Structure 1
Amino acid sequence: MLTITLYFFVLIVIIQLAYYLGIFGKFAFAKAQKITPKRIPISVIVCAKNEEENVANFIPILAEQNYPDFEIVLIDDASSDGTLAVFEEFEKQYPNIRLVKVENNEAFWGNKKYALTLGIKAAKKEYLLFTDADCYPTSKDWITAMSSQFTMQKTIVLGYGKYEKIANSFLNKIIRFETLLTAIQYFSWAKAGHPYMGVGRNMGYKKEEFFNVNGFIEHIQVRSGDDDLFINQAANAKNVTIAYTPESFTLSKPKTSFKEFFTQKRRHVATANYYKPFDKLQLGLFYCSQLLFILLAALLLAFQFQWILVLSLLLTRYIVAWVVVGFSAGKLKENDIKFWFPIVEIVLIFTQINIFITNIFSKPVHWK
């Protein structure tokens, strides 16, 4: 039985190395990206529901972008706080702000996709950039950096949405490592010609891409997924590119309690159930191989069975993964996380198992 376990462990290590070197290495070892400014007219779209404090702080940062031709489309999704009032003040203050007021519709009650659809239709520019109400660009050249990646063929741009650092917070390291690993995955698969997701905190596409797939209609019944499900449906090897210069990043406030983080990840995992079969397979295989790698290594080492070989394979996988994660973290300016890689990875793996099990017995809560 231990011999069979060893063979299985070797197979799992090969799978992990294939992911880290064969797929994730495409982003980790990619050349530094350059910004070639363009003058493409841009509509920045922000959808908010009960985000009064965040929009008051972050919309001025968007409005002060150093870009020659852009508008900001602010969508108030039937907020019950002062979000709409803040938006109305900004509309008076900035001539390039367009306000879209959404009233609840019985057919699309509380559905962010309905609100976003109205905002996209209201946008006057052909190229759209998206960010969330609790996000802000890390640079005044965010629009320049993101729009510079558009070409005649590349009409979808996937960006990176960072989370703020919180000193002496282990939870913050978990959140930021999970965000880094997710970015490594969707950036790498995009470079491999199999884009499968993007994040609404930072992405862009030409308006025609939205209408080519009839917007969100195929997954309108799913409350989440205005970002990843849309990309999963609309993106392909020819029309997608990525943006990873530091000027292209956005920054968000992270969750500060494990319960909030857990709830957020439950929504993300539930949404992934609607991905294309290949995308679900590659994601499932990666996470299963992560778990089995740890469990089988622990089992074989506990029995000291071929322990030199097992330890060698264990170290090889960790060194390769650490190098790939390290190079990727350097590109995305998350260098401090790489030093916590082995510990945070283990915590995150078992957190994900808990999420999968919890989602089987109850449905996660979505848009506010």
Structure 2
Amino acid sequence: MLILILYFFIIIVAVQILFYLGIFGKFAFAKAQIITPKIVSISVIVCAKNEAENVSNFIPLLIEQDYPDFEIVLIDDASSDNTLEIFETYEKQHSNIRLVKVQNNEAFWGNKKYALTLGIKAAQKEYLLFTDADCYPTSKDWITAMSSQITMQKTIVLGYGKYETIANSYLNKVIRFETLITAIQYFSWAKTGRAYMGVGRNLAYKKEEFYNVNGFISHIHVRSGDDDLFINEAAKSRNTTIVYAAESFTLSKPKTTYKEWFIQKRRHIATANYYKTFDKIQLGVFYFSQFLFLILPIILLLWEFEWILVLSLIGLRYLVTWLVIGFSAAKLKEKDVVYLYPIIELTLVLTQINIFITNVFSKPVQWK
């Protein structure tokens, strides 16, 4: 029995190394990205629901972008606070701001995709650049950086949405590490020609791409997924590219309690159930092999079975993964989260198991 477990463990280690070197290494070891400005017309789209404080702080940072041809489309999704009043003030002060007021619709009540659809239809520019109301660009060259990789063929651009650093917070490191791992995955698969998701905090595509797939219609019944489900459907090997230069990053306020973050991740993981079959399989194999990598050696080591070989395999896997994650973290300016990698990975695996079990018995909370 133990010899079978050992063989299975060897296979699991091989699978993990294949993912990290064969797939994720395509991003980790890629050359630094050089931003060559291109001028395409851009509509920056922000959808907000009861985000008065955030939009007051962050919309000015969008207005200050150093880019010659852009407008800002502000979507108020039937807010009950003074978000709309703040948007109206900005609209009066700036000629390149367009305001979309969303009223509750009985058929699409509380559906962010409905609000975004109205904003996209109102946008006047050729390309759409999305961020969230609680996000802000890290530089005045954000639009320049996100548009720099657009070509006649590459009309979907996946960017990186960072989270702010909170000093002396282990939860913050876990959140940022999970965000890093997710980015490594979707950037790497995009480089292989199999893009499967993007994040609405930092995402751009040609308006034409939205209409090519009839917008969000195929998953309008799913409250979440305006970013990843759209990309899962619209992205093709030839039309998708990535931007990872530091000027292209956005920053968001992270959750500050485990409960809040757990609820957020439940929603994200539940959305993945609607991905294409291949994408669900590759994600399932990766996370299941990650889980087994942590479980199987415990069994073998408790029985002191071939412990030298087992420890060598553990060391090999961690060497490979630490290198790949380390090089990726350097590109995305997240190096500090790598120092506690094995501990954080264990925390994430246990959280993912908890989320999977919880989602089986109840549905996650959706858009506010």
The one-letter code matched in structure 2 to 1:308 is: I
Q: Distance in 2 between matches of 1:335 and 1:6?
A: 33
Give the aligned partner of residue 228 of structure 1. 228
Distance 2:138 2:284 in 1: 33
Displaced runs of 4+ in structure 1, greater than 3 A? Answer: none
CA shift, 1:160, in A, is: 0.1
2:146 alignment counterpart: 146
Distance 1:319 1:94 in 2: 53
Task: State the SS of the aligned residue for 2:274.
Answer: coil
Query: For residue 7 of structure 2, what is the aligned residue in structure 1?
Result: 7
CA distance in 2 between partners of 1:46 and 1:268 (Å): 20
Q: Which amino acid aligns with 1:241?
A: T
RMSD: 0.4
User: How far apart, in 2, do the equivalents of 1:102 and 1:348 lie?
Assistant: 37
Match of 2:187 in 1: 187
Q: Which residue of 1 aligns with 2:97?
A: 97
Which residue matches 1:126?
Answer: 126
In structure 2, distance between residues paired with 1:343 and 1:249: 27
- 1:73 matches 2:73: yes
Q: What amino acid is aligned across from residue 61 of structure 1 in structure 2?
A: L
Which sits farther off after the overlay, 34-43 or 19-28?
34-43
Structure 2 residue 283 is the aligned partner of structure 1 residue 278:
no
Q: Distance in 2 between matches of 1:323 and 1:302?
A: 28
The C-alpha deviation readout for 1:316-351, integer Å capped at 9, x for no partner, is 000100000000000000010111111100100010
**TM-fit CA distance, 1:171:** 0.3
How far apart are the structure 1 equivalents of 2:128 and 2:305?
Answer: 57
Taking the aligned partners of 1:57 and 1:35, their CA distance within structure 2 comes to 27
Equivalent residue number for residue 324 of structure 1: 324
Which residue number in structure 2 is paired with residue 52 of structure 1?
52
User: How many Å apart are 1:11 and its aligned residue?
Assistant: 0.3
Spell out the pairing of 1:1-368 with structure 2 (5 A cutoff): 1-368=1-368
What is the distance in 2 between the residues matched to 1:297 and 1:50? 48
Q: Match of 2:74, SS?
A: strand
Q: Letter of the aligned partner of 1:173 in structure 2?
A: K
Q: Offset at 1:301?
A: 1.1
Between the aligned residues of both structures, percent identity stands at 76
SS of structure 2 residue aligned to 1:114: helix
The CA deviation at 1:105 is: 0.4
**Structure 1 residue 303 displacement after superposition:** 1.0
SS of equivalent residue, structure 1 residue 43:
strand
Shift of 1:124: 0.3
What is the CA-CA distance between 1:298 and the residue it aligns to? 1.2
Q: In structure 2, what is the Cα distance between the partners aligned to 1:291 and 1:350? A: 9
Q: In structure 2, what is the Cα distance between the partners aligned to 1:300 and 1:139?
A: 50
Distance in 1, matches of 2:29 and 2:75, equals 39
User: d(CA) in 2 for partners of 1:177 and 1:338?
Assistant: 7
Distance 2:60 2:36 in 1: 25
1:67 Cα offset (Å): 0.3
Normalised TM-score (structure 1): 1.00
Aligned partner of 2:221: which letter?
Q
- Relative to the length of structure 2, the TM-score reads 1.00
Deviation at 1:93, TM superposition (A): 1.4
Gaps of 5+ in 2: none
1:90-124 CA-to-partner distances (Å, cap 9, x unmatched) read 10111110000000001100000000000000000
SS in 2 for 1:198: coil
Structure 1 unpaired stretches of 5+: none
